Amino acid sequence: MKVLRARTRTLKDLLPPPLMARLLGEGQLRRYADGQIVQERGDDRAALSIVTRGEVVAGNLSLDGALLASALLRPGETFGEFSLFAGLPRTQTLWAQGDVEIAHVSATRFWPLFDTEPALARALMSLTVARNYEILEFVDAQRRLKLPARLVQLLLTAVEEGAPSAQIACRQEDLAMMLGLSRVAIGKALTQLAAQGLVVPGYGEITLSDVSRLRRWFAAQDQRQPLDAV
């Protein structure tokens, strides 16, 4: 399973190394094999979990068995804040993608450190706000944009900054799971984009031969006032 998501700052990026080491030292390190479930939807254990190695996919299975993948967590990223801070059940099932290590910091070990280290509170608040920003942008795109534009927006998240072209390793099934649509709908959207010379679908990959042109095309579909013009 391939999940596309732009790289963002992590807790490891925001905390001073000594404080990050202290936080990890308070946790219980667990290892997970590829495909192993890390948490189930509905779990309510109060703990902050930090990915230290590998990647974790978050998503939900519908009653008919269809999977909607919603996020990819990389080393330094966290989960469990809903249960830790608000006492809410966890809404996503998480699977290990490859071999994964995660430090689980229980509430009893977390709160004393949180109460005495303002830098930890600031870092977690910054990450929470950034996630809310990302979610609002996604919801806005779902409501406003037609499928080809939503698909381009998703593909562009996998492009390195400044890259003139890109080959993105993902299948149509992966794109369908990320956008909550059928493979047929994704295939039609890719065909439309390919007819305009914007993408080149291949076996298990999609080529973006001119990223600048693709960004200009997306901006024309977006029809929002640029943030720097507000």
- The answer to whether residue 4 sits within a structural domain is no
131 and 17 part of one domain: yes
Q: Number of structural domains, the chain?
A: 2
pLDDT at 160: 86
6 assigned to some structural domain = no
Q: Is 137 in the same domain as 162?
A: no
For CA atoms 13, 39, 91, 118, the dihedral sign is: negative
Residue 133 sits in the same domain as residue 190: no
Residue 1 lies in a domain: no
Nearest CA to 20 out of 76, 68, 89 is that of: 76
Least confident of 34-43, 64-73, 81-90, 101-110: 64-73
Same domain (yes/no): 137, 151: no
The pTM for the full model equals: 0.81
Q: Distance (Å, rounded) from C-alpha 185 to C-alpha 26? A: 47
Strands (E), 33-146: 37-39, 47-61, 67-73, 78-79, 93-106
Would the pLDDT of 187 be above 60?
A: yes
Q: Is residue 195 part of a domain?
A: yes
Residues 136 and 161 in one domain: no
Same domain, 28 and 104: yes
Shared domain check, 152 and 115: no
Of 80, 111, 141, which one is at a domain's C-terminal end?
141
Three-state SS string across 152-207, please?
HHHHHCCCCCCCCCEEECCCHHHHHHHHCCCHHHHHHHHHHHHHCCCCEEECCEEE
Last residue of a domain, one of 85, 109, 141: 141
SS3 230: coil
Q: Give me the pLDDT at residue 142, please.
A: 82
Q: Does 68 reside within a domain?
A: yes
CA-to-CA distance for 210 and 90, rounded, in angstroms?
40
Residue 70 pLDDT exceeds 90: no
Q: Name the pLDDT band for 69 (thresholds 50, 70, 90).
A: confident
Residue 3 forms part of a structural domain: no
- For residue 212, give the CATH number of its domain: 1.10.10.10
Residues in the chain, overall count? 230
User: What kind and span of H or E run contains 114?
Assistant: helix 107-116
Question: Confidence band (pLDDT; 50, 70, 90) for 229?
Answer: low
42: domain range? 11-141
Lowest mean pLDDT segment, chosen from 3-7, 33-37, 47-51: 3-7
Give the CA-trace dihedral at 95, 57, 202, 194, to 10 degrees.
150
Residue 64, pLDDT score: 72
**134 and 223 share a domain?**
no
Q: Are residues 136 and 160 in the same domain?
A: no
pLDDT of residue 191: 95
| The domain boundary residue, chosen from 104, 122, 141 | 141
